[in-house]
Amino acid sequence: MQTDIRILAIETSCDDTSCAVLRNRAVLSNVVSSQWIHRKYGGVVPELAGRDHLRYIIPVADEALKTAGIKPAELSAVAVTRGPGLPGSLQVGVNAAKSFSLAWNIPLIAVHHMRAHILSLFIEKDGQQAPDFPFICLTVSGGHTQLVLVKNPYDFTLIGKTRDDAVGEAFDKAAKLLGLPYPGGPFIDQLAVVGDENKFQFSPYHGKALDFSFSGIKTSFLYFLQENNRKNPDFIKENLPDICASYQRHLIQELLKVTLRALSQYGIKNLAVTGGVSANSKLRSEFGKLEGEGIKVSFPLREFCTDNAAMIGVAAYFDFLEKKFSGPELAPLSRWNEFT
Ligand code: KG4
Ligand code: ZN
């Protein structure tokens, strides 16, 4: 088996232009250029995202190679996010990867973005411990909230998901109502640290299966703010940390409730949490408490929680071992539901 696999990985599924170089599962470079232009619109504008990827993809790839000290001739393969994601954004990455593959005569690897979020747990850095198989992975991001049973790096089964909004959206939309910048999740996280999480109550979603739902809470949060603002126009200003902490507690309790149901249903004691929202400090401490109940809990390093190309590279490393390559006809799949 080849033991020195060098992969240039590209991620452009949403609003981060990212390129990384990996040597096997170790990250030699991981450059992430976040598009701040969306801040003034309070959300990602697809048309602007595609244009910005086009502007930055080559400079970002160049920087990733230079930082890693790797020349194109030393690469074993180029990998790219094929989907799911915004069509115009995915196209830029896929096109760049196909061009590199043809120009440098190296294999092309197409990666599923959600599988890569899960495999970010297998990036080798700072003695990070990967979970043992089989494990259940809760992936919480801006676009997805899902539970996946992972038997090995190639065997993924979707066992639960949100019926409506993703939990990252629930963070970001509430943050917008509170006048916080986009994306608001990290701001709620920080403000909640000094807030009273029991000050305000929100009613839970009463699902029974392995489904999440966050659209109801979003609407009730809007009414909660409107009603309190009517009584006191300074309500948000006077209570911001408490509002953030109470709302965040509600979201995390919803995630915990359904995840515990999945673990008991499948009789599994290994749990992982990945995706942008897994960077949340309260989520980490609440899920971390499960260790006391005999459940082993893993998180990716914080730098690999939100979108990044290093996770695409580690997923591609496993595909390289199995020679799962794509041809030059590769096209993006903006709605790619299966983990193939
Ligand atoms: O995985 P990701 O970068 O992109 C998608 O694939 O969607 O996730 C982005 C999401 C955003 O909703 C952002 O607000 C949320 O992750 N996020 C957080 C935190 N850091 C990022 N949410 C709560 N607390 C955080 N610390
Ligand atoms: Zn993502």
Ligand nearest, relative to CA of residue 183: 1
For ligand 2, the distance from its centroid to the CA atom of residue 117, given in whole angstroms, is 7
Give 46-61 as a DSSP string: HHHHHHHHHHHHHHHH
For ligand 1, the distance from its centroid to the CA atom of residue 306, given in whole angstroms, is 6
Are 28 and 69 in contact, with CB atoms under 8 Å apart? yes
Dist CA 194 CA 242 (whole Å): 8
186 lines ligand 1 (CB under 6 A): yes
* Number of helical (H) and strand (E) elements in the chain, helices listed first: 9, 11
93 lines ligand 1 (CB under 6 A): no
Nearest to 153 by CA among 263, 272, 255, 260: 272
At 174, the amino acid letter reads A
Residue nearest ligand 1's atom 10 by CA? 142
Residue nearest ligand 1's atom 21 by CA? 276
How far apart, in Å, are the Cα atoms of 339 and each of 112, 153, 162, 244?
Answer: 7, 11, 17, 34
For ligand 2, the distance from its centroid to the CA atom of residue 26, given in whole angstroms, is 20
Range 182-186, long-range pairs (CB < 8 A, 24+ positions): 182/38, 182/39, 182/41, 182/42, 182/43, 183/142, 183/276, 185/142, 185/276, 185/277, 185/279, 185/280, 186/279
Helix axes 185-192, 281-288, angle to 10 degrees: 70
275 lines ligand 1 (CB under 6 A): yes
For ligand 1, the distance from its centroid to the CA atom of residue 184, given in whole angstroms, is 8
> Ligand 1, from 38, 81, 139, 141: best to mutate by most atoms within 8 Å of Cβ?
141
Are 157 and 148 in contact, with CB atoms under 8 Å apart? yes
140 lines ligand 1 (CB under 6 A): no
Locate 24 and state its tokens. Answer: 């096997």
Each of the 340 residues of the chain gets a pLDDT tens digit; together they read 558 999 999 999 998 999 999 999 999 999 999 887 778 777 888 888 889 999 999 999 999 999 999 999 999 999 999 999 999 999 999 999 999 999 999 999 999 999 999 999 999 999 999 999 999 999 999 999 999 999 999 999 999 999 999 999 999 999 999 999 999 999 999 999 999 999 999 988 888 899 999 999 989 999 999 999 999 999 999 999 999 999 999 999 999 999 999 999 999 999 999 999 999 999 999 999 999 999 999 999 999 999 999 999 999 999 999 999 999 999 999 999 877 6
For ligand 2, the distance from its centroid to the CA atom of residue 275, given in whole angstroms, is 6
